[in-house]
Structure 1
Amino acid sequence: MSGIVFESLLSDFTIKNPYKDFSEELHRVEIRKDPLLGDTSIYNPFLKDKARFFFGDNDPELIRKLVEDSAGTCIFCGEKVEKNTPYYPADLLPEGRIRVGEALLFPNLFSVGKYHPVVSLSKAHFLKLSEFSPELIGNGLAAASQFLNRVYSVDFSVPYSVINANYLFPAGASLVHPHLQILVTPVAYSYHGRLIDACNTYYQKFGSCYHTDLIDEEKRTGLRYITQQGKWHWMTAFSPMGSNEVIAVHEGEGDFALLSDEDLKSLSDGISKVLSFYEDLGHLSFNYSIFSLRKSHPTEGFRCLLKIINRQNLYQNYRNDDYFLQKMLQSELIINLPEELAEKLRAFFKKE
C-alpha cells in the first residue's frame, strides 16, 4: 500500500488594495508539503504576474562582457586546463585525470569532501542552455561514473555520492566555464542524509520504495508526470525546493556507479531537454544534483534521483533569489505551478 499523500493547506484573507481605491481584495496562499520529507513550499497566484520582478530579464550586454572578461583568465580554457589543473595520485587514478570526449575530470584544489573532483565539460567557455547537448552532458556523467567506480574499488568508507552542477554566478559558480562537481564522502551531507533516512523509514513502514510509489502515483494522477525516457521517469515536484524544479527518478537503481551507458544517455538527453526548456522560459542559470547511494550500503528503498532548478537571471544589480523564506525557513516560493509546468514540459520532451 502506498503511503504517499499530497498535502496542502489553503488560507484565504483580504486586504484593502491601495491600487484599487482601497477596495477589499481576496487573496489565497497555498502551502504544500513534500510527501517524503514534509518540506514546505508556498504558492500565491498574485505572485505569478510578478515573475519578471523576481527574475528580471537577462542582460545580453552584461553577459557578453562577463564572458569576454573571464575567458582570458579561465583555467579551464584551451591548453590551460592541462597545465593549471591538478592530478590525482597514481594509486587512485593511474592516469591522474579522466577524459571522456571534451570532458576532463581532475581534483578540486578547494575540496569540501574526501573526494571532490571537478569536470570541465566543454572546450567552449560559455554555452547557452540549448547548447548543453546530450553528448556534452553525457561525457561529463560518464567521467563521473568512471571516477566513482575507481574510488569504490579502493575505498570502502565512502557510500555517499552526489554529482552537482552550478552554472553562472547566480547559481554559485565561481567560473563561467561549464563544469560539474562531484562529492564522494563517508558522511551524507544534510539534505542527502535526510533523503536516505526518509526513504529507509518509508520502506520499513510500507514495505515499498518511496520513489517507485511516487512514479506510480504521479502516472496515475497525470498531474505532474512528464514522460519516461529509458528507465528514468521525469516529473515536476509537488512541493519544489527551487524555481521550476524538475525531478527524474531511476526506476530500479540507487547507485550511480552501477548505471548503464544507456541509463546515462537517457539521463543526459532529459537534462538537455530541461535546460532548453529553461532557456525557452527566459532563464540562463541553473543548479542540479544527482543523489546516489552505494549498493553495499544497507539502507533500503533508495533510488538515483536528479533534482534540477533554474536560478536568478543576470542583469545589473540582480536580486538574490533566496531570501529569508528559503535560507532561514527552508521553504520555497512557487512562481509557476508544478502542474502547469509539467504540461508545458510534456510538449518540450516530444521535440526532437
Structure 2
Amino acid sequence: MNWSDSAATAFGVLLTIGLAGLVLVVMDFFGGPTREAEQPAQVVAGQGHRNRHWRTEQAGGQAQPKLRRLESKAEARARGQAAEAEAVAAELRARAGAAEAEALAAEAGILAAQAEALAAQARAQAEAAEAEALAAAARERARVRADAAEAEAEAAEARARGQVGQAEALAAAARERARVRAEAAEAEVEAAEARARAEAAEAEAVAAEARARAAAGEAEALAVEARAQADAAEAEAVAAAARARAAAGEAEAIAAQARERARERAKAAEAEALAAEARARAEAAEAEAVAAEARARAEAAEAEAVAAEARALAIRLRLEAEASGKPLRRPD
C-alpha cells in the first residue's frame, strides 16, 4: 500500500468518525425536548391527581350543590383530557425527533458509505495508476531489451559480414597462392624443357667433340703423311696443316659450346631445385589456405547462427513488449 492508499483510508476513517459524532449530537439534541415533554406530562398528571384528591376532600368536608360537583367533574375531565393531549403531543414530538434523528443517522450512514465508496474508488484509481506506471515501466524495459537485442543482432550481423569478408580475403589469398603455384608449375615445365634441351645440347656437344677428335686424329694422320711426303708435296702439307688448324679451331669451338651447354644444364638443375622448393612452399600455402578457409566457413556459420538466434530473441522480445503494451482496463 502506497501513500495514496493510506491517505484515502485515513480520509474515510476521519469522515466516518465525524459523521458518527454528528449523529450523536443530533440524537442528543432531539432527545432533550422528548425528556422535557415527558416531565411536564408527569407534573400535569400529578396535579390532576392532587386536584381530584382535593375535590374529594372538599366534597366530603362540605356539602356543595350538585351543580358545583358537576362543574368540578367537567373541569377535572377537561384538565385530564388537556394533560393527556399534552402528553400525546409530547410523545408525538419525541417520536418525530427520534424519526428525524434516525433519518439523520441513516443519512449519515449513507454519507459514510459514500465516503467509503469514494475512498475505495480513490484506492482503485491509485492502484490503476500504479499498475499503469508499472506497465509503462515494463514496456520501457521491454523496449530497451528489444533495442539491445536488435543492436546485438546488428553487431552479430556486422561480425558475420566481417568474417565473410575475411573469408573472401582468405579465399582471394588462396586463389593468389594457387596462381603462384600454377606459375611455379609452369616454370617447372619450362625448366624441364630447358633441361631436356640442355641434355640434347650436351649430347650434341659430345658428338661434336667426338667428331672433332676424329677430325683431329685424321688431321694428325694427314699431317704425318704430309710430313712423310714433305719433300714431295710441301705445298700439299702446308694446305693440310691449314686444314688441321681449322679443324682444331672448330673442335675448340665445339668444346666451348659443350661447356656453355653444361653451364646451362647446371643452371637448369638449379632452376629445377628452386621450382621444387617453390612447389613445396606453394603446396604448404595451399594447405594452410584450405585450413583457413575451412575455419572461416566454420566461424561464418557460427556467426550466422548467433545472428539468427539474436534475431529470434529480438523478435520474441518485441512480441512480448507489444503484448505487455496493451492498455489496462480502469475500474469503474
TM-score norm. by structure 2 comes to 0.15
Structure with greater proportional helix content: 2
Higher relative contact order (CA 8 A, sep 6+): 2
Instruction: Name the structure with the higher strand share.
Output: 1
Larger radius of gyration: 2
Q: What TM-score do the two structures reach when normalised by structure 1?
A: 0.14
